[in-house]
Amino acid sequence: MAVTHTLIVIGVYGLLCYIAYLFFLSGGHIVRILGNNIMMVITKMMGLILAVLGVQMLLADINEDIRTEAIK
């Protein structure tokens, strides 16, 4: 049963890699369809999401450090 699950995970991962590959190949076409303004908006939103994730990870680490120190 574990082998079946492993093969399913490997297959799904391979499918996702292939889909990402297709998106990379068609990147120029996608940019032409969306236009530069939309791409700028998407880029800024992705930067904001990355910053939020970084702050969330930092705050979670600080919280964990505070809890660890309180236990000692």
What string of DSSP letters covers 7-35? HHHHHHHHHHHHHHHHHHHTHHHHHHHH-
For residues 30 and 23, is the Cβ–Cβ distance under 8 A?
yes
Enumerate the domain spans of the chain. 1-33, 35-72
pLDDT in tens, the chain (72 residues): 789 999 999 999 999 999 999 999 999 998 999 999 999 999 999 999 999 999 999 999 999 998 888 776
C-alpha distance from residue 24 to each of 29, 64, 66 (Å): 10, 38, 43
pTM beyond cutoff 0.85: no
